[in-house]
């Protein structure tokens, strides 16, 4: 019986994908297996045990030294090997930055079609249908893949990890040895980003900040607004890429999917990559100096103007609330 | 340093409308992809830092998109040459077919020290093509570079990945994708726009690259492409900042999302 093979370098994302695969497998007539890759034995063993406990059977574990640093070209070789060993016809990857990069390369090696950044997976007429944002996020394009092996990179936090158990709970872990080329890309340095953990998905009020903010030194302005509103501070992906805020404060396609009572967007243009993370907000308020900013299309309430004047005015007004 | 920059022609999404949930793309102008401009800028800076070499913009025809105009734009920005793969068989291609055509063109027009891409296209943003081209050409690959330096033989890149910032090095040749933070793309000067028309443009058909229609046939099928439904109130408050703030806070209190 052919298999769905699940892989993500992020342990929690891999568990979500196993959850998704367990839902799809009966409709597609496939089994659920998983792969764990990494040069470090203890971490890979723990990840494999968790995947097995959640119903992936078997879990293929490859700990070749060449996987140190998880160079995309090397991971591609290892996964292609496991796809063949597992008889996989569907490969589910996590659409993190690493996973998205891996998707294209693995698909090319396997002669496969591929969908990245999938936000939905369904089975229609016996076919796997993956939905993803298209045209800058204005639409959702639903696609099927016509090749014998299908590669789909799924956005994190779309599916639930599910409960431990399932068909093969706790079954075999298979050690895989593969001949892998040494990585051609060297990791010279890896350092953590700044910032404290925050759970935006659970926040009742959120102030989101975008590139309308001119410089990092101006962040206290928006922090004061968030504090006055009793809100969490969040940002667009650009600001996190600048290093101004930690990745766990990103709202959108590559960050948190939020559902607050109130989302106040400050200096955010409103690219869909961001707004997909606030579609479930009950009330959306917008502060932006560009009256044509796409963000206003999603506004319940909006003010057009200079955030450097409006934010202090909002803080002042909130003092009298 | 000889650099190939892969450029996609995108509809200007700022001018796209959605009608009855369907995108309306008729009469929407085309332009060089946003992130492709960052890749072009990065290539020009690396070429100039090296003191010699050429920047070649490479593209693939996709239906009626005006690729020759887009390539003129890339040449005006500063590319030295343009390479176009044009073939009716590419009209329906997806990422797999586009990657084959790009890799073939890069191989034929090369050799190159570096192949640069934006990390995704403006319209589809799948990010597949760079990885597919890297695999086809057997190149090491660095995605999401937000800074790039070259010593001639070695390329150094910094990138932001999940919880960490990474510094990476690889020997050239290599394939690299860039994010928008890497630079501020230049606006072409009138002088360079005039010069663009005189720069060399090479066109290949699929046959010139030992490819055929079957090789670039799509691997995927699209079932639907519609906007999600959203309904919002769209109330705007005018006036001085203090009055706007007053009205906005009052509205939020009235909605019950603020205050007591």
| B123 contacts in chain A (CB < 8 Å) | 134-136
Contacts (Cβ under 8 Å, ≥6 apart) of A235: A208, A209, A210, A244, A245, A249, A250, A251
CA distance A139 to B222: 13
| B234 contacts in chain A (CB < 8 Å) | 296-297, 299-300, 302
Q: Is B71's Cβ below 8 Å from some Cβ in A?
A: no
Q: Which of A182-186, B3-7, B229-233 has the lowest mean pLDDT?
A: B229-233
Percent of chain B with pLDDT over 70: 100
Domain extents in chain B: 3-209, 230-260
A262: closest chain B residue by CA = B257
| A142, β-bridge pairs | A131, B224
- With the C-alpha atoms ordered B248, B249, B251, B256, is the resulting torsion angle positive or negative? positive
Indicate the burial class of B72 (C-beta count within 10 angstroms; 0-12, 13-18, 19 or more): buried
> What letter does residue B162 receive in the DSSP assignment?
T
- DSSP for A29-91 reads T-EEEEEEE-S-HHHHHHHHHHHHHTT-SSEEEE--GGGTT--HHHHHHHHHHHHHHHTEEEE
Which segments in chain A show pLDDT lower than 70?
166-171, 194-197
Q: pLDDT at position A168, please?
A: 58
CA distance B144 to B188: 25
Q: Cis peptide before A29, with omega less than 30 degrees from 0?
A: no
CA distance B33 to B57: 12
* Higher per-residue pLDDT: B66 or B117: B117
Q: pLDDT at position A166, please?
A: 67
Q: pLDDT at position A193, please?
A: 74
> A-contacting residues of B 89-128, CB under 8 Å?
94-96, 99, 122-128
Query: Is A181 strand, coil or helix?
Result: coil
Q: pLDDT at position B21, please?
A: 85
Give the domains, in start order, of chain A with CATH numbers.
Answer: 3-175 (3.40.50.620), 200-319 (3.40.50.1220)
Pairing of strands B114-118, B174-178: parallel
| B140 contacts in chain A (CB < 8 Å) | 71, 73, 183-185
Contacts (Cβ under 8 Å, ≥6 apart) of A265: A208, A210, A278, A284, A285, A286, A287, A288, A295, A299
Q: pLDDT at position B63, please?
A: 81
Report CB contact under 8 Å: A241, B146.
yes
Report the alpha-carbon angle A94-A77-A66, nearest 5.
95
Provide the token pair at B183. Answer: 């630079």
Question: What mean pLDDT is predicted for residues B62-69?
Answer: 85
Percent of chain B with pLDDT over 90: 80
Q: Tell me the pLDDT tens digit for each residue of B142-178.
A: 999 999 999 888 999 999 887 789 999 999 999 999 9
Question: Of B180, B170, B101, which is closest to residue B141 (Cα–Cα)?
Answer: B170
Structure-token match 């993956």, residue found = A130
| B132 contacts in chain A (CB < 8 Å) | 104-105, 107-108
Q: pLDDT at position A176, please?
A: 95
Question: Of B61, B63, B96, B88, which is closest to residue B213 (Cα–Cα)?
Answer: B88
Note the CATH number of domain B3-209. 3.40.50.620
Question: What mean pLDDT is predicted for residues B115-130?
Answer: 94
- DSSP for B205-256 reads -GGGGT--TTTT--SEEEEEEEPPP-----EEE-SSHHHHHHHHHHHHHHTT
Q: Is the pLDDT of residue B20 over 90?
A: no
Q: Tell me the pLDDT tens digit for each residue of B48-64.
A: 999 999 999 999 998 87
Q: pLDDT at position A202, please?
A: 79
Q: pLDDT at position A196, please?
A: 57
- From the candidates A317, A318, A319, which should be mutated to test the interface with B, based on the most B CB atoms within 10 A? A317
Report CB contact under 8 Å: B123, A305.
no
Name the average pLDDT for chain B.
94
- Closest CB from A115, A282, A317 relative to B257: A282
Q: pLDDT at position A273, please?
A: 75
Q: pLDDT at position A195, please?
A: 57
CB pairs A-B closer than 8 Å: 265
Question: Of B225, B91, B93, B222, which is closest to residue A145 (Cα–Cα)?
Answer: B222
Q: pLDDT at position B189, please?
A: 93
Q: pLDDT at position A277, please?
A: 85
């Amino acid at each position: 019986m052919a298999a769905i093979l699940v892989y993500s370098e992020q342990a929690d994302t891999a568990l979500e994908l196993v959850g998704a695969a367990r839902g799809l497998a009966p409709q597609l007539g496939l089994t659920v297996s998983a792969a764990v890759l990494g040069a470090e034995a203890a971490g890979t063993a723990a990840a494999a045990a968790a995947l097995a406990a959640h119903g992936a059977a078997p879990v293929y574990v490859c700990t070749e030294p060449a996987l140190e640093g998880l160079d995309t070209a090397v991971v591609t070789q290892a996964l292609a090997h496991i796809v063949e060993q597992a008889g996989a016809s569907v490969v589910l990857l996590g659409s993190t930055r690493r996973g998205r990069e891996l998707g294209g390369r693995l698909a090319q090696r396997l002669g496969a079609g591929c969908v990245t950044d999938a936000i939905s997976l369904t089975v229609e007429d016996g076919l796997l249908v993956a939905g993803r944002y298209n045209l800058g996020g204005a639409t959702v394009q639903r696609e099927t893949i016509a090749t014998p092996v299908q590669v789909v990179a799924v956005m994190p936090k779309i599916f639930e990890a599910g409960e431990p158990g399932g068909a093969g709970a706790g079954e075999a872990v298979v050690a895989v040895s593969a001949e892998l080329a040494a990585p051609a890309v060297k990791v010279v340095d890896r350092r953590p980003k700044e910032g404290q953990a925050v759970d935006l998905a659970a926040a009742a009020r959120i102030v989101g900040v975008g590139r309308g903010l001119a410089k990092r030194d101006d962040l206290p302005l928006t922090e004061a607004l968030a504090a006055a509103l009793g809100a969490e501070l969040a940002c667009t992906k650009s600001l996190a890429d600048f290093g101004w805020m930690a990745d766990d404060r990103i709202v959108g396609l590559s960050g948190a999917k939020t559902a607050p009572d109130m989302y106040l967007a400050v200096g955010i243009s409103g690219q869909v990559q961001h707004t997909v993370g606030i579609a479930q907000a009950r009330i959306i308020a917008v502060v932006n100096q560009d009256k044509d900013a796409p963000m206003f299309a999603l506004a319940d309430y909006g003010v057009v103007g200079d955030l450097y004047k409006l934010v202090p005015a909002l803080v002042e007004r909130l003092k009298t609330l | 340093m000889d650099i190939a920059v892969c450029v996609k022609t995108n509809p200007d999404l700022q001018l796209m409308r959605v009608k009855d949930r369907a995108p309306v793309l008729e009469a929407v102008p085309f332009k060089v992809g946003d992130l492709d401009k960052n890749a072009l800028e990065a290539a020009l800076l690396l070429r100039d830092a090296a003191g010699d070499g050429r920047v070649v913009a490479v593209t693939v025809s996709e239906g009626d998109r005006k690729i020759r105009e887009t390539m003129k734009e890339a040449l005006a920005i500063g590319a030295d040459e343009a390479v176009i793969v044009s073939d009716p068989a590419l009209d329906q291609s997806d990422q797999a077919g586009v990657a084959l055509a790009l890799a073939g063109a890069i191989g034929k027009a090369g050799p190159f020290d570096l192949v640069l891409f934006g990390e995704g296209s403006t319209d589809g943003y799948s990010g597949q093509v760079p990885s597919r081209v890297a695999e086809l050409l057997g190149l090491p690959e660095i995605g999401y570079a937000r800074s790039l330096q070259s010593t001639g033989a070695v390329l150094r890149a910094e990138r932001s990945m999940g919880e960490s910032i990474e510094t990476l090095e690889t020997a050239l040749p290599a394939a690299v994708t860039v994010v928008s933070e890497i630079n501020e793309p230049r606006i072409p000067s009138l002088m360079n726009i005039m010069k663009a028309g005189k720069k060399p443009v090479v066109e290949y058909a699929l046959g010139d690259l030992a490819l055929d229609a079957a090789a670039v046939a799509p691997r995927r099928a699209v079932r639907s492409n519609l906007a999600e439904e959203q309904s919002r109130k769209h109330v705007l408050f005018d006036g001085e900042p203090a009055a706007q703030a007053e009205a906005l806070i009052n509205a939020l209190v009235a909605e019950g999302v603020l205050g007591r």
